Amino acid sequence: MFKDKPVKVLLAKPGIDGHDRGMFVLARAFRDAGMDVLYAGLLPTPQEVVDTAVNEDVDVIALSLLNGAHLTAFKKVSDLLRKKGIDDIAIVGGGTIPDTDKPKLEKLGISGNYGPGTPLSVIIDHVTKRATESRKKKMGSG
Amino acid sequence: MSDTETLVRGILDGDRISVSRAISVIENDLYSDRALRILEGINPRTGNAHVIGITGPPGVGKSTLIGAMVPRIAVDDRKVAVVAIDASSPFSKGSILGNRIRMQESLTRHGIFMRSLSSRGLSGGLSFSALGTIKILDAAGFDTIILETVGSGQADLDVMLLASTIVVVLAPGLGDEIQAIKAGIMEIAHIFVVNKLDREGAFQAIKDIEDVLATASQGEWKVPVIGVSASNGDGLDDLNSAIGKHAEYQARHRDRRSSVRMELNLIVESEIMKALRNAIEEDSRVTGIIDDVSSGARDPFQGSRMIMGALSQRIAGKK
Ligand SMILES: Nc1nc2c(ncn2[C@@H]2O[C@H](COP(=O)(O)OP(=O)(O)O)[C@@H](O)[C@H]2O)c(=O)[nH]1
Ligand SMILES: [Mg+2]
């Protein structure tokens, strides 16, 4: 009855990779898992992704890219968010990310980094886990 | 998370992070003391914004229309914010907050603050959280606040009453123009819009609505019916000037008592819910009553009356 606001997640693909279908599949899976899902639209810049995430106060930004530009694009989003002093919105990544890049993303706090074919349940569990951490921080010293 | 005072100061300074965080407090914990204290803190700086409500059946083009209207409204340094309420899936309780995507381009170009609310987490409290969100934006210095809801149920109609100018949007080909008019929307509309003027049947729809309006008793404000096309821009200037005219009209004729009554109603409801929650969490009398009703020693009606008794004592501060 109280305090039952669902996890809020922003799906964004900050670059061209011509694969919108995957995003819609994810969006529906997240909704069916009880989340509130926002979609950042076509070709959002990292600045737009961060502005949307802040205005909507989401718990998690889920970034995905299949074009190989993840390191620069994901890092930009993460940098802009930190620059605003925000540490209670988590970032998770996905796409075609080589194993060697994963530790670099992890170091930026960008976790998950799942490749195509990862079971939806694995992604949902991970997003839920990161969202719970964000919520805790948000509720923290109030 | 920052404390209540910092948040209040941030809102009054127009800081968007504070605005956004404060809205979350209202959304996450509608009936908390914190939510009420934030709203109380900013209250002296509220009452200046013009709230435009946009409602109508799903798919008529409300979100697209808002995106198309924003450049016309955000002129002369007017600061505009958009609040859009999405219905959530009755099955998973999750939702895809799809309104934003229809106006994103326009939001970015004009630096518009937009917030999506899902009706789900807010069951019952939708009007209060919408009221709180509007107050926060108002106090933060937004001149115009546009509020989108799907005009389907009573809860949506109630939310619309928070707006000072209510625009009801319909479109041809849905076959429900008249239906929508009958469903209680008629009484609250200040402006009717028939969107998708570029589609067949639009002019007939305008005529149908005008016919219905002609038989209704109208007050001093004559409800206009305006044909527009959100996608090609036709009629948008007419709509903008009708909104402007209504804003002037209602500034002169505003029924302050009725809006105050609604506001008090929502705040009192929130205070009661807060007391109820605290009572359920920590009042041993309430746990005792739950035990009694469970064991059949009392019926739920007796139980509820006893809880009301405990509540009124708590509210009166006697514990
Ligand atoms: N032909 C036409 N389509 C429109 C117009 N305005 C919106 N649409 C389309 O109508 C659909 C629903 O629009 P949306 O803004 O999401 O409607 P809402 O559910 O009322 O907010 C979308 O596919 C829009 O592109 C218009 O003026 N003409
Ligand atoms: Mg919409």
In a domain, A2, yes or no: no
Select the more confidently predicted residue: B167 or B94. B167
In a domain, B5, yes or no: no
ipTM above 0.85, yes or no: yes
- Model pTM score: 0.91
In a domain, B2, yes or no: no
In a domain, A45, yes or no: yes
Nearest to A126 by CA among A108, A105, A110: A110
Strands A90-95 and A36-39: unpaired
In a domain, A111, yes or no: yes
B130 and B149 assigned to the same domain = yes
The whole-number pLDDT of residue A2 equals 41
Instruction: Work out the widest C-alpha separation in chain B, in whole angstroms.
Output: 68
pLDDT tens track for B25-60: 988 877 788 888 999 999 999 999 999 999 988 889
In a domain, B6, yes or no: no
B172 and B302 assigned to the same domain = no
Q: Which two tokens stand for residue A69?
A: 């530009």
Mean pLDDT of all residues belonging to chain A: 88
The whole-number pLDDT of residue B92 equals 67
> Contact at 8 Å (CB) between A99 and A40?
no
Angle at B85 between CA B105 and CA A135, to 5 degrees: 90
In a domain, B25, yes or no: no
CATH code, domain with A65: 3.40.50.280
Q: How many CB contacts within 8 angstroms connect chain A with chain B?
A: 101
The whole-number pLDDT of residue B246 equals 96
> Contact at 8 Å (CB) between A105 and A97?
yes
Beta strands in chain A (DSSP E): 8-12, 36-39, 60-65, 90-95, 110-114
Write down how long chain B is: 319
B219 and B237 assigned to the same domain = yes
Q: Count CB-CB contacts under 10 A for residue B3.
A: 10
User: Within 13 Å, how many C-alpha atoms sit on residue B47's CB side?
Assistant: 9
Domain count, chain A: 1
B149 and B172 assigned to the same domain = yes
In a domain, B15, yes or no: no
Domain count, chain B: 2
Kindly list the residues from chain B whose CB atom is less than 8 angstroms away from the CB atom of residue A27. 96
Q: Count CB-CB contacts under 10 A for residue A106.
A: 13
Tell me how far the alpha carbon of residue B62 lies from the centroid of ligand 2, in angstroms. Answer: 5
Indicate which of A1, A2, A7 best probes the interface with B, i.e. most B CBs within 10 Å of its own CB.
Answer: A2
> Contact at 8 Å (CB) between B20 and B38?
no
pLDDT tens track for B188-217: 899 999 999 999 889 988 998 888 888 877
The whole-number pLDDT of residue B269 equals 83
Domain that holds residue A18: 8-138
Q: Which atom of ligand 1 is nearest to the CA of B195?
A: 27
Provide the pLDDT confidence category of residue A1 given band limits of 50, 70 and 90. Answer: very low
Domain that holds residue B277: 259-315
Angle at B257 between CA B185 and CA B268, to 5 degrees: 85
In a domain, A80, yes or no: yes
B250 and B267 assigned to the same domain = no
pLDDT tens track for B82-102: 999 987 666 667 888 889 989
Considering A56-60, A134-138, B264-268, B310-314, the range whose residues carry the highest mean pLDDT is A56-60
Determine the number of helices (DSSP H) and then strands (DSSP E) in chain B.
14, 8
> Contact at 8 Å (CB) between B226 and B203?
no
